[in-house]
Structure 1
Amino acid sequence: MLIFSRGGIAEVGAFDGTLKSLIQCYQTDPDSTYRKLRYKVRQNNDALLRRLVNDHGSEDLGDIKGRTILAWYKEWTGGGEKLSMGSAFVGQLRTLFTFGRSILEIEDCVRLGMVMHDLKFTGTRARKVSVTAQQADAIRYKARIHFGWYSIALGQAFQFECTLRQKDVIGEWVPLDQEGVSAVIFGGKKWIRGIDWSEVDENLILKHVTSKKQKETEVDLKLAPMVLEEFREMLGGRQLLVTDPVTKKVTVNRSLLPASGPVLICDTNGLPWTDSEYRRKWRLVANACGIPKNVWNMDSRSGAISEAIAAGVPLEFVRHAATHSDISQTQEYDRIQAKATAKAMRARVENRNKDETE
């Protein structure tokens, strides 16, 4: 028997051959990858796993065949109308069978893993829209001038210029018992994973560990004109960068910026943003700019990548800048990543300025 706790399924028994007992083991085994999932990801997965238990948990693994899974897939997709839902469930089954094969050494999971490998599922169509530099500028201006939401403008600048995901910019709120140290605690939750001022050094080099792949990305903010413009607005026109007229050496007045704390603070409550409220207000600004509703905040990152490719940046450099590579985090790799990101950012800005003058 299984029971659900607030965080998922509570352990009540051992594996008995059914799908629901496999799910139980996956969620409670100390060596399971489930324990390494981020809080929000685990919440989403728990919802899928609950439905699997409710709808098909009593199925014996030995009775599950390829046709069984195809029938479930048709059910999950509503006959092909909800492909993203179907993909989510297929992903969960793959994870469950991999766990059962590699950790529990269940023969039926070996067989089912091969079945899943051979089956073909209709994939979701990749998004083909991106936030352009012009749209990013419009959002920044509208957010700042018409709404007074300076942090939305700064967040848009960071997302677009630095090829960062929304979560890496604004962070997330999680229960206190979740992993991660934070100096920001409110309402029984803590803020983690967002950009902190302490990650910006005296030369305006941002070093941030990404939320999705836990890889350190290094970005020279001096090469990000949108970010620098928002910094100037934040500082009331005070000069963050001073260039010596003779030597042309650039001096950074890093002391003008906060030493630590979340970079993105909600303009109305003084706390780090929640993801839902940030998306909601970004959408209000985007609507006011006339940006189509099929263009989302998450498309800022794809816009940055698209701009780099259009500027002629080698694909290898783009992958490094977007932290798409699977190469280990060695010291040599860190130097390559920083150089690649800087090259990509320079080329993007040069190409952007060229387009504006033509």
Structure 2
Amino acid sequence: MIRTDRPGYLSRNRKAGRAHYWSPQRAIKGAPPTFKIKRLPDDLTDEEIAEECQRLTNELRAKIGNPHAPAVEYNGTIDSLIELFRTDPTSSFHTVKHSTRVRDYGPSLRIISKNVGKRRVDKLQASDFRRWYSEWRTRGHRRAAGIIKLLRLILTYGAGERLPGCKDARDILSGMRFEQPPARRVAMTYDQCRAIVLKSAEMGHPSVGFVEALKFESALRRIDVIGEWAPDGDGPFRWRGLTVGQISKDHILTITTSKTGAAVSRDLSLYPLVQLALESYTIPEVGPVVIDENTGKPYWENRYTTKFRAVREAAGVPAHVWSMDTRAGAVTETVNATGSLDSGRDLATHTTVRMTAKYNRGDGLENSRVIALARAEKRGKAAE
């Protein structure tokens, strides 16, 4: 049976698996050749591929009908506001990293559209937001909080563009407070990271052990280690990230971090876990530092997380320890070792100590021991 819910869809078999594309000429017969084929993110589900193909086709149909008109017109519904937010190049949707749009914005926008997309913005009341939040919380507390945060952004965009109903809805939502999920308290430990390094080598995936070791020792973000595949404007996906040229012959890594733009240098020769990982993982002579053993190319984020989970499970590390917790482990160990949040801030390149405190997930036991001994020593001297 020929599917009609994925206009313009194409797929091609690649070494790493099936790649998905959307073709303007396949979506609409006679579409000008100036509209190029777009590759779709690899981690979309079948339902999400259909939604994306339909969205791109609707945009194309509007552009062909009137090349100077916006891809979508605001008709007062949340759905039309979402489409404007996604397609307007001046919206904040286009100021975040591609991975954020795919991993965070995409799923939340689909939930909003599916659940309340047909609602008129100018009819929204506080009771609507409270009810939606309660319903979304059944999907997870963090997910619900993230959707509300994104809804604030969308309505703020609409208010800024003077779209009817958006300012009133934004003002209502701005005055509301929702219970936030508790701060994450999980941090990967040295022993857990070491187990992952050893097991990844045993499983033939030493790149995973190298990535986690480098993150744990240096507190670099994962995107700064494995890089990122992102579309080059409207063109094909291109990779950007850490390359061999950023590591000197004496193992000094130099990088400008993706989030804060901080200039960072790290001496890899002083990192025991990195040296252990390098017994199994060989850094290429040129090009990207981290290569997926299965494809011979840099990792797509979803493929890395899938492989990480397999290694973590085989290594006996609990499932509640995520790859993102490696960086928290680096900060926690640093603060415990030095007793200084400032040291943790410098290692993690945070702009404030307040942010470092969120990543410091220790229970304060070691610091309390140091304080107790210091106080006891002072009492002893005073009694002499």
Q: TM-score w.r.t. structure 2 length?
A: 0.66
Q: Does 1:158 align with 2:209?
A: no
SS of the aligned residue for 1:219 comes to strand
User: Relative to structure 1, is the Cα distance of residues 12 and 170 closer, same or farther in structure 2, using a 3 angstrom cutoff?
Assistant: closer
Q: Which residue of 2 aligns with 1:56?
A: 116
Q: Distance in 1 between matches of 2:164 and 2:231?
A: 37
8 Å contact kept, 2:197–2:276? no
Residues 89-121 of structure 1 deviation map (CA, whole Å, 9 limit, x = unaligned)? 1021111122223x3145744443333333221
Which residue pairs with 2:39 in the alignment? Answer: none
1:19 paired residue number: 78
Tell me the CA shift for residue 133 of structure 1.
Answer: 0.9
Q: How does 1:1-358 map to 2 (within 5 A)?
A: 5-6=52-53, 10=59, 11-44=70-103, 45-78=105-138, 82-101=140-159, 103-106=160-163, 108-144=165-201, 146-175=202-231, 177=233, 189-193=237-241, 195-231=242-278, 258=284, 260-325=286-351
What SS class does the counterpart of residue 306 from structure 1 fall into? helix
Contact 2:78 2:118 in 1 (8 A): yes
Q: Which deviates the most, 292-301 or 204-213?
A: 204-213
Displacement of 1:161 in angstroms is 0.6
Does the Cα contact within 8 Å between 2:232 and 2:238 map onto a contact in 1?
yes
* Aligned residues of 1:39 and 1:178 also touching (Cα < 8 A): no
Cα distance between partner residues in 2 of 1:276 and 1:50? 19
* Matched residue type, 1:125: P
CA deviation after TM superposition for structure 1 residue 160, in Å: 0.6
Aligned equivalents of 1:169, 1:178: Cα separation in 2: 25
- Listed one character per residue, the Cα deviations across residues 253-283 of structure 1 (whole Å, up to 9, x for unaligned) are xxxx755311111234322223333333333
Q: Give the 3 Å change call, closer, same or farther, for CA 18–280 of structure 1 in structure 2.
A: closer
Greater relative contact order structure (CA < 8 Å, 6+ sep)? 1
* Partner deviation per Cα, 1:179-224 (whole Å, 9 max, x = no partner): 8xxxxxxxx643223x211222355332334344554433332432
SS of structure 1 residue aligned to 2:338: coil
Change (3 A) 1:71 1:294: same
Aligned match of 1:335: none
Contact 1:205/1:220 (<8 A) preserved: yes
CA-CA distance at 1:32 after TM superposition: 1.1
Structure 1 Cα separation of the partners of residues 292 and 149 of structure 2: 35
Question: Aligned equivalents of 1:225 and 1:178: distance in 2?
Answer: 43
> What is the distance in 2 between the residues matched to 1:285 and 1:97?
42
Q: For residue 295 of structure 1, give the secondary structure of its aligned residue in structure 2.
A: coil
The percent identity for this pair of structures is 29
Unaligned runs of 5+ in 2: 1-49, 60-69, 354-366, 368-384
Equivalent AA in structure 1 for residue 109 of structure 2: L
CA 205–114 in structure 1, closer or farther in 2 if over 3 Å, else same: farther
CA RMSD after TM alignment: 3.2
Task: State the alpha-carbon separation in 1 of the partners of residues 142 and 100 from structure 2.
Answer: 15
Instruction: Summarize the Cα distance change of 1:324–1:258 in structure 2 as closer, same or farther, 3 Å threshold.
Output: same
Q: Tell me if the contact between 1:131 and 1:299 (Cα under 8 Å) persists in the aligned partners.
A: yes
Does the aligned pair in 1 maintain the 2:244–2:285 contact within 8 Å? Answer: yes
Taking structure 1 as the reference length, the TM-score comes to: 0.70
Residue 82 of structure 2 aligns to a residue in which SS? helix
Distance 2:78 2:220 in 1: 38
1:302-326 Cα distance to aligned partner (Å, 9 max, x none): 1111101111252233223223316
Q: 1:282 aligns to what SS in structure 2?
A: helix
Aligned to 2:379: none
* CA distance in structure 2 between the aligned counterparts of 1:171 and 1:83, rounded to whole angstroms: 29
Whose radius of gyration is greater, 1 or 2? 2
1:277–1:162: structure 2 CA closer, same or farther, 3 Å change rule? same
Contact 2:335 2:343 in 1 (8 A): no
**Contact 2:334 2:343 (C-alpha < 8 Å) held by counterparts:** no
